[in-house]
Structure 1
Amino acid sequence: MAGVLTVAGTAVAPGTRVRAAIEVRGCGYAVRMPVTVINGRGDGPVAAVIAGLHGAEYPCIETTIRLARRLDPHQVRGALIIVHVVNEPAFYGRTAYVNPLDGLNPNRVFPGSATGSISERMVRRVWEDVIAPADYLIDLHGGDIVEALVPFAAYTPSGNAAVDDVARRMAWAYGIPRVLEAEIPGSSMLAAARAGKPAVLAEAGGGGLLDEPSVATLLEGTERALAVAGVLPAAGVPSVSIGTPTKMIWHRAAHQGMFYPSIKVGDRVERGQVLGRICDVYGDVLTEVRSEASGDIIFLVTCPPVSPGDPLLAVGGT
């Protein structure tokens, strides 16, 4: 990218940083997603960095704020499109998992719809204005308000060996020991991979907290991933050490009640091990939750009330 880049109707000249917004209206609502565009002076790829698909994951949102403020356009080769908060209604409403305006999880409806619900319309604009024009996608997340989480990175195989090699190296560039190979239906990462783009996800933090170690993990890792993509200089960036990815195995509630975990986040568990139990509000056990795989507890719901289908935890393993 060496010429003028237009994002959401805003023209960004080479060598400049511009703040803009993606405004979505429909279904009786109006939503504004804050964006920073950094257009470098020289030729190079375009990378998209998005955060706040889940509005209560604060370290990832803070990461995009700091990234946009500290990068000099002269450092950037190509361009960088940063969406600070996609799910603004959940951000200001302190809502876990979903958009409170329609009850949908925005990261399960990609690539969205221009005529759908407000979440589908928001996602469609992010897709059309940010992800589709980009060569690479980084989607930043963390544990939600009711989740504890150990940092991890992930990528989705596209079926193209060259694309997957870049995505794998971008994920391992975060320097996090846990890298997952994940295919999440309706996610930004899956939609981008299917469009032939290297796409990665990185998660740190949780519990509704904004903590510095999580921000540092995401910020430093994102800069290294952007160097792998060729958007930032690779000088001074450590070489990426590639390990063996694991799978993410979700465990969900089968009953309504209270979840009492017997493990904590980061614990090593074995297939068949009892991880906790769900009891009714009288204290009677409804079911035991057993591990469907051997591996580490990647995230764990820390708020007891659960309903059928709610996530309880995930194991990173086999």
Structure 2
Amino acid sequence: MIQLIQNHLSESKETKENTKVRGFIPVPGTSVEMPFTFIQGAKPGKAILITAGVHGGEYPCIETAIQLAKEIDPAEVSGTILIIHPVNPAAFLARMQYYGPFDGKNLNRVFPGKATGTVSERIAYEVHQFQQAADFYLDLHGGDIHEGLVPFVIYSKLGNKEQVEHSRLASALLGFPYVVGSVSENGSIGAAAKAGTPGFLAELGQCGRWSVSEVNEYKSAVLNVLRSLHVISGEVIHSKVEFLDKMLVTTATADGCWYPAVQLEQKVKIGEKLGEVRDYFGNVKEEYLSESDGVVLYLVTSLAITSNDPLAAVGVSVT
């Protein structure tokens, strides 16, 4: 991790113990420069990677990362912490949901990326280099511009049993109500897990807004995980969470207007109506039913919907 960062620094900003350096990670072949803060602790320890703003419209996580980068004292750190804030600055400035402005791709669907691919694929490739060098990875998300959700955490089921269990238990230490497993390979945590790095993807926030209380909650949660990894000192707080086996995402099959029929955290049964897409005259084009019993973790809140967009996600309990 130290060598990867050093490659992006001038001699005047050489990394040393008990220091904090800031800069930009250029993505080769693009105009993208990812702002980062690298904290090298006073004592040896684990290498931690924290990313925020993979999706440009998810504001609580980006502000959380900015504040953590500013507030964490290297003298209190064992090991190193690299924070990238945000990963997708062009999407952030364009106020875009999900997608990037250069290629229209969802960055969190193209990991581990390609060195000579599209802009989103190249960003993913650069981030993946740091994922491989890390001992633990925290990818912070939350409440895109058109998305309502209850706080939850996703961990990858890819990798060996010890790695998966490490990710699962660390996810619970955020203290968010739900922890759900995933077998996706093309997202940030899936790519990291396949490379042997445990971690999780956290979700906190609502509909493209952010508040001081949300950021404070997010910061406290992340610091609790860092304490559990012995990166910073202090008591680790254990909270009661519900572990879910998987998350089933319902996707739109038609363009039009989206009308949810359920609410966040509502318990639904298999076959229960989640909502419907209507045309511009109010006629129903498609109805969408739950594929399983479970709890509603997120809902798209925008009236406008396009085919292939997610509509809702139901977390399914461990059987």
TM-score by length of 2: 0.93
Aligned equivalents of 1:36 and 1:70: distance in 2?
A: 11
2:64 pairs with 1:44:
no
2:120 is matched with which residue?
119
Could you tell me whether the CA contact under 8 Å between 1:4 and 1:13 is conserved in 2?
no
Could you tell me whether the CA contact under 8 Å between 2:173 and 2:239 is conserved in 1?
yes
- Aligned counterpart in structure 2 of residue 12 of structure 1, from 15, 19, 29: 15
Cα shift at 1:229: 2.1
Q: How does 1:86-101 map to 2 (within 5 A)?
A: 86-101=87-102
**Structure 1 residues 219, 313: CA separation in 2 closer, same or farther (over 3 Å shift)?**
same
Letter in 2 for 1:86: V
2:73 is matched with which residue?
72
2:164 is matched with which residue?
164
TM-superposition CA deviations, 1:159-194 (whole Å, max 9, x none): 312212221121000111200111233111001111
Q: Secondary structure at the match of 1:248?
A: strand
1:247 is matched with which residue?
246
TM-superposition CA deviations, 1:103-122 (whole Å, max 9, x none): 01111111111111111111
Aligned equivalents of 2:183 and 2:295: distance in 1?
A: 19
Letter in 1 for 2:163: V
Q: How does 1:141-290 map to 2 (within 5 A)?
A: 141-233=141-233, 235-239=234-238, 244-290=243-289
Aligned equivalents of 1:308 and 1:103: distance in 2?
A: 15
Q: Which moved more, 1:285-294 or 1:135-144?
A: 285-294
**What percentage of aligned pairs have identical amino acids?**
39
Cα shift at 1:224: 1.2
Could you tell me whether the CA contact under 8 Å between 2:178 and 2:241 is conserved in 1?
no
1:313 is matched with which residue?
312
2:25 is matched with which residue?
22
Aligned equivalents of 1:164 and 1:240: distance in 2?
A: 20
Aligned equivalents of 2:39 and 2:127: distance in 1?
A: 17
1:82 is matched with which residue?
83
RMSD: 1.8
Cα shift at 1:281: 1.1
Could you tell me whether the CA contact under 8 Å between 2:177 and 2:240 is conserved in 1?
no
2:110 is matched with which residue?
109
Could you tell me whether the CA contact under 8 Å between 1:169 and 1:242 is conserved in 2?
no
Unaligned runs of 5+ in 1: none
Aligned equivalents of 2:82 and 2:206: distance in 1?
A: 25
Cα shift at 1:67: 0.8
Aligned equivalents of 1:8 and 1:98: distance in 2?
A: 29
Could you tell me whether the CA contact under 8 Å between 2:128 and 2:191 is conserved in 1?
no
Aligned residues: 313
Could you tell me whether the CA contact under 8 Å between 1:257 and 1:278 is conserved in 2?
yes
Could you tell me whether the CA contact under 8 Å between 2:60 and 2:210 is conserved in 1?
yes
Aligned equivalents of 2:36 and 2:286: distance in 1?
A: 45
**Structure 1 residues 294, 157: CA separation in 2 closer, same or farther (over 3 Å shift)?**
same
Letter in 2 for 1:123: A
Cα shift at 1:225: 1.3
Cα shift at 1:271: 1.1
Letter in 1 for 2:276: R
Could you tell me whether the CA contact under 8 Å between 2:153 and 2:178 is conserved in 1?
yes
TM-superposition CA deviations, 1:240-275 (whole Å, max 9, x none): 667533311100111111111111222221111111
TM-superposition CA deviations, 1:261-317 (whole Å, max 9, x none): 111222221111111111111111112111112121111111112222110010112
Unaligned runs of 5+ in 2: none
Letter in 1 for 2:76: Q
Aligned equivalents of 2:16 and 2:40: distance in 1?
A: 7
TM-superposition CA deviations, 1:191-218 (whole Å, max 9, x none): 1111111111111002110122321232
Could you tell me whether the CA contact under 8 Å between 2:175 and 2:241 is conserved in 1?
no
Q: Secondary structure at the match of 1:12?
A: coil
Aligned equivalents of 1:31 and 1:4: distance in 2?
A: 21
Letter in 2 for 1:290: L
Q: Secondary structure at the match of 1:125?
A: helix
